[in-house]
């Protein structure tokens, strides 16, 4: 019998191949709502949809985590993207 997918690292040190929003939130130590904000902002790999289920591929998340990038702020509702141009 297999263990349920809890999103936790197994005894062998392996993550499950597909992660739910709650699994991914646990891995990244942020809220599920923040996951969706990052997806909408294009800052997190897009999930795959399997029927009514949404999952992220562990390989894509691992590659995303290994990229060098500046620290990004999670967009909050009502925050406008700063394009670096001040109003005149």
pLDDT, tens digit, for every residue of 12-32?
666 568 999 999 999 999 999
Number of domains the chain contains:
1
Q: Kindly state whether residue 57 falls inside one of the protein's structural domains.
A: yes
pLDDT tier for residue 2 given thresholds of 50, 70 and 90:
very low
pLDDT, tens digit, for every residue of 69-81?
666 665 566 655 5
Q: Kindly state whether residue 62 falls inside one of the protein's structural domains.
A: yes
Q: Kindly state whether residue 32 falls inside one of the protein's structural domains.
A: yes
The percentage of the chain sitting over the pLDDT mark of 70, rounded to a whole number, equals 59
In this prediction the pTM is 0.63
For residue 55, the enclosing domain spans: 18-66
Other beta carbons less than 10 A from residue 35's beta carbon: 24
Distances (CA, A) of 45 to 12, 48, 49: 25, 9, 13
């Amino acid at each position: 019998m297999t263990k349920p997918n809890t999103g936790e690292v197994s005894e062998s040190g392996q993550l499950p191949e597909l992660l739910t929003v709650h699994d991914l939130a646990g891995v990244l130590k942020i809220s599920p709502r923040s996951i969706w904000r990052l997806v909408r902002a294009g800052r997190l790999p897009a999930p795959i949809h399997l029927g009514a289920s949404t999952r992220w591929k562990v390989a894509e998340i691992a590659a995303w985590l290994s990229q060098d990038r500046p620290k990004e702020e999670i967009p909050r509702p009502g925050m406008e993207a700063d394009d670096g141009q001040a109003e005149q």
